[in-house]
Amino acid sequence: MRSSHLAAGASALALTAMLAAAPAHAQAEVEEVVVTGTLIGGAPTGAIPVQVFSSAELQKRGDPTPLEFVKNLPAVSNTVGEANRINGQNSGAVTVNLRGLGASRTLVLLNGHRLPIVQSAGSGVDVAMIPTAAIGRVEVLTDGAAATYGSDAIAGVVNYITKSNFEGLEIDATYNAIRKSAGDWSANIAWGKVGEWGNVLLTAGYKHRSVLQQDERDWGLYPLTVNPQSGWSANGSPGAYLTGPTRTVAGFNQGFVDPGCLALGGVLTGTGNSARCQFYQGPFNNLVDEIDGYQVYGEVNFFVADEHRLHLEALAAGHVVPREVQNPSYAPSNYPLAVTAGGNNPFPAPAGTEGARGYYIPPDHPGLQALLALNPNAFSAAQLANIRANGVLTSNAGWRPYGYSGNPLTGEGFHSRREMHLKRVSGGLSGPLAFGIDYEVNATWAEQTNERITSEITVPNLQYALLGLGGFGCTPGGTNPATSTPGQGPCLWFNPFSTGMPGNAHTHVANPQYQQALALDPRVANSEEVIRYLEANPYAFYEWSRIFEANVVLNGELPWRLWSDEPISWAAGAQYRWQQDKKDLPDATNILKNPCPMLGVTSCTTPTGVLTFFGAQKPWDLEGEVWAFFGELKIPVTDRLEAQVAVRHEDLGDIGSTTNPKLAIRWDATDFLTLRGSIGTTFKSPDLTNLGDDFLTSGGVVSQLGAFRPIDIYNNPNLEPETATTYNVGAIVDVGSFRATVDYYAIDFEGAIERDTAASMINAFFGPSLNSPNHCTSNPQDPWWNLQQRFTFTGGVGDPATCGLANLLRTKNLYTNARDYKIRGVDATWSLGLPEILGGQVQVGGDLNYIIKYEASAFFSEGIELQPAEDIAGTMNAGPAIPRWKANAYIQYARGPHNLRLSVRYLDGMIDNRANVFPPTATNRFGEKIDAYVPVDLIYRVELPWETTATFGVLNLFDRDPPAARLDFAYNTYTADPLGRVYRLTLRKRF
């Protein structure tokens, strides 16, 4: 039997296993059970709440994908996993988030040992890398477990355990038919051999997800007046511009919107300088991006001498998103003219525009001239005169290079490529020593890489092209007029106006003025060369997360007994753990090499880098070491009363040290009733990246602006470990064919490492009305001054002169030990075998989680309260959600080779309590109440001749739409499912 440091080889939590959500007869098929949550092998114990899901049970559930399995667990909230860009830099990754505390606070193990975390997936483990074909069962511990495992197990542990006695060859294939999609499919192969010498297991798997566009679901697109947060942006193309009587910052004060807005599909809002052509990015988004994944796994176990066993395993896995689809282009947040104050402005901008945040377009621009000629009545006489004399400046809050016409290089949205790969090896030697002591030594090394290959428009190239100086052969400022004259020779114009847009890339409606503009001046058409010139060469961003873990564990029995026939058992050991997080950046976006808007310029007032949106970042290379010492006792007090005592001390290096004890008790009160309880402390050390002095840049819709803005996320070297005290009190009932568990849990969580959000900062600083009153100040002693410095306005960081929401360019967020949480809830599982019906066995059962309260303390940033103390149970805030009820119920009928299962999944309704989306004065309350989500699944499994099994399933039988939400993809990607009804066929053949 496998004996592991983190999940010791021992007999099952047999009673708990039978009482898990799976049917009892399915649990009986588990051939070997590793006790998750203890180091000691010995008699069955149910002192801690563990659910066990065997591979046979999962097959009867319709072979759920890793995402489906995790998302359907009642104890899980806010799962990252849908293959779209809402997950940040981790498309295709799947994380586990027990209790909604964040994926970083759920420890995920493979055969009892750690896997590397993915920083861009919320510091969680990517379980999509788990080798599906090799898994024999999954154990889910829903209790704090730092005394056994150390850091990260605040909310619990999920342990994936491979098959140890698989023999023969098995091949399976699955196809999912999805409306308006090419479907998803997967295939696996497993081969195993068992002998007196030990066993060997080899598996390989492949999976594919096909593209599903947002406009392929009728619930996916909403008018601006209904759901303004479902992908609408004020930064449009056709866009908004400024002109004026003089070429000065103050002079550019007359706003107008490109007259082609409506013809190309835009929606006009506002007037004057606030006029915008609202852009809808929804039709360009994918609900699911294309993804290809693989897993190759092998393990061998053999006896090297007497009872000493050597265990070796290796895993290689990964997934690739070849075309992650985003907006046609980002709205610029970095501009060329800002560097003038430092004396490094390379552009021939007109005098007086140096302080403006925008891109200057001269009056002789052919696209602008055609726009004026074809739309003379769209401008006042003063505007026409000013444009012809002074040109225009792009609006920082109402313009982007490409929009409704699509990205000229793709014909649709902007494409990136993402790849994640995992390599992991683990090995150990275990066996008996003298005096009845057993030992295990093992070591695990793993590395996960995240590569993002993308391109973005660069600041200098965009400004040059708007000046007619674009193109690879053009040399602005050169002495040869043939290579430095706007619009002549190799120098090309980029036309951002509607006169250069053939039509709407989504609706395919032609732009009536495009052909007219071509007739006036052929230069209005954007050539492929100038577009490729705008886009930077593909940039590759690399992240590495590496871990090495070495363990020594001893266990045995003491020569003493209390009032029980069983002796006191013990385990003790030590662990060394090393982690590394590293990120490499291309030179063009490395703030240490190119901090300013021009390549090679290193001195500027506001370092933003050469890219128009994301700006420059800092690379990092961080390492950390942990030493741990631990011990555990299993004390049978009487034949019916057992105690489990554990303690662990970890030395975290510069962060400090921590000691965490735990006590668990099980009492067999009667033959059919078992009571259990536990109390312990637990912790999570800060991630290495959170402790650095670097930052990364993300992007998101600032709902108050209705536009994308970059968010610089800064780490904090002064962070302290998070701590928690966890309690669990439960009962196990076993009466005939009825088995059930019920557990009351409590988590007192302190010092959660969180970051403030742009939305909460804006709401606090600018007030509910977003413009009056606000807290702009020029006094550094003002209590609002420090928060003001977290905003970059058109005049610079925290600039009092341009402090205003309309002038906001980017926001700085910071990680801190922020809120405390008090969580109380109830878990339950049940199963009941009914009398035989029509010659078959009928079973009903299910599991649930009910959150009694989820109290969060007030969130402060720079001494300012951003969020009040509140009970967030039953609410959704900025995507993450804490539904009060989450439950599954099933009825299963088995007769001979046939098994039919009907399942109902229930996700409780929630209230969207974001003050920035639903202030008291808001008249549009659409999406404030998010409906319950209740899909029904029907699975039929039949065992055919020749050791073949077929499974036919209809997931979401009644084609239930995900509840509407005021979010980018029009639904909550962390909780609901965008696919609709799915038809699944799985064939499995044994040889």
pLDDT, one tens digit per residue, over 92-137 is 889 999 999 989 999 999 999 999 987 665 678 999 999 999 999 9
Give mean pLDDT, residues 376-386.
93
pLDDT at 876 over 60: yes
Neighbouring CB atoms inside 10 A of 322's CB total: 14
Q: How many domains are there within the chain? A: 1
Return the pLDDT at 88. 53
530-566 confidence digits (pLDDT tens)? 999 998 777 888 889 999 999 999 999 999 999 999 9
For residue 739, CA distances in Å to 18, 28, 36, 831 come to 7, 14, 21, 5
Return the pLDDT at 8. 34
Confidence of residue 2 (pLDDT cuts 50, 70, 90): very low
171-184 confidence digits (pLDDT tens)? 999 999 999 999 99
Flag whether 373 is in a domain: yes
Return the pLDDT at 680. 95
Return the pLDDT at 215. 93
Flag whether 465 is in a domain: yes
Here the tokens at position 545 are: 């997360």
Return the pLDDT at 44. 52
- The DSSP symbol for 294 reads E
Confidence of residue 146 (pLDDT cuts 50, 70, 90): confident
Mean per-residue pLDDT of the chain:
88
Q: Spell out the SS3 assignment of 181-246.
A: CCCEEEEEEEEEEEECCEEEEEEEEEEEECCEEHHHCCCCCCCCCCCCCCCEECCECCCEEEECCC
Choice between 197 and 89, residue whose per-residue pLDDT is larger: 197
- Residue 226's φ and ψ, nearest 5 degrees, are -95, -55
Kindly tell me the burial class for residue 698, based on how many C-beta atoms sit within 10 Å of its own C-beta (0-12, 13-18, 19 or more).
middle
Return the pLDDT at 928. 95
271-303 confidence digits (pLDDT tens)? 888 899 999 999 999 999 999 999 999 999 999
pLDDT at 668 over 80: yes
Cα 683 to its chain centre, rounded Å, is 22
Residue from 774, 609, 620, 593 nearest 692 by CA: 620
Between 402-411, 445-454, 812-821, 875-884, the lowest mean confidence (pLDDT) is in 875-884
Here the tokens at position 309 are: 């066993």
Give mean pLDDT, residues 187-196.
95
Sign of CA dihedral 863, 869, 872, 876: negative
Alpha helices in 674-724 (DSSP H): 688-691
Question: Look-up: residue for tokens 């074909």?
Answer: 133
What one-character-per-residue DSSP string does 371-396 give? HHHH-GGGS-HHHHHHHHHH-EEE-T
Q: Is the peptide bond before 773 cis (omega within 30 degrees of 0)?
A: yes
Burial 355-382 (b: 16+ CB within 10 A, else e): bbbbbbbbeebbbbbbbbebeeeebeee
From CA 37, how far away is CA 50, in angstroms rounded?
8
Give mean pLDDT, residues 53-77.
93
Residue 640 near residue 651, CB atoms below 8 Å: no
Residue from 567, 625, 681 nearest 153 by CA: 681
Kindly tell me the burial class for residue 44, based on how many C-beta atoms sit within 10 Å of its own C-beta (0-12, 13-18, 19 or more).
middle
Give mean pLDDT, residues 358-381.
94
Choice between 243 and 356, residue whose per-residue pLDDT is larger: 243
Return the pLDDT at 763. 84
Flag whether 527 is in a domain: yes
Give mean pLDDT, residues 778-805.
90
Flag whether 352 is in a domain: yes
The radius of gyration of the chain from alpha carbons, rounded to an integer in Å, stands at 31
From CA 233, how far away is CA 523, in angstroms rounded?
29
Residue 34 near residue 161, CB atoms below 8 Å: yes
Between 197-201, 503-507, 879-883, the lowest mean confidence (pLDDT) is in 879-883
Confidence of residue 34 (pLDDT cuts 50, 70, 90): very low
Give mean pLDDT, residues 718-744.
95
Choice between 672 and 771, residue whose per-residue pLDDT is larger: 672
pLDDT at 25 over 80: no
pLDDT at 24 over 70: no
**Residue 478: domain span:** 214-287+338-414+456-538
pLDDT at 460 over 70: yes
Residues in the chain: 991
Return the pLDDT at 392. 92
Residues near 544 by Cβ (< 8 Å), separated by ≥ 6? 447, 448, 449, 580, 581, 582, 583
- Residue 826's φ and ψ, nearest 5 degrees, are -135, 130
Confidence of residue 805 (pLDDT cuts 50, 70, 90): confident
Return the pLDDT at 696. 73
Neighbouring CB atoms inside 10 A of 725's CB total: 15
Q: Is 368 left (phi over 0), alpha (psi -120 to 50) or beta?
A: alpha
Give mean pLDDT, residues 433-445.
94
Return the pLDDT at 456. 87
Return the pLDDT at 772. 55
Return the pLDDT at 794. 78
From CA 346, how far away is CA 336, in angstroms rounded?
8
pLDDT at 346 over 60: no
From CA 787, how far away is CA 810, in angstroms rounded?
13
Q: Is 853 left (phi over 0), alpha (psi -120 to 50) or beta?
A: beta
Flag whether 764 is in a domain: no
Choice between 31 and 113, residue whose per-residue pLDDT is larger: 113
What one-character-per-residue DSSP string does 711-765 give? EEEE--TT---EEEEEEEEEEEEEETTEEEEEEEEEEEEES-EEE--HHHHHHHH
Flag whether 691 is in a domain: no
Flag whether 499 is in a domain: yes
pLDDT at 60 over 80: yes
Between 505-519, 613-627, 741-755, the lowest mean confidence (pLDDT) is in 613-627
Flag whether 632 is in a domain: no
Return the pLDDT at 202. 98
Return the pLDDT at 89. 58
Sign of CA dihedral 150, 311, 117, 37: negative
From CA 490, how far away is CA 474, in angstroms rounded?
5
- The DSSP symbol for 120 reads G
From CA 688, how far away is CA 694, in angstroms rounded?
11
Return the pLDDT at 703. 67
Return the pLDDT at 760. 86
Return the pLDDT at 804. 86
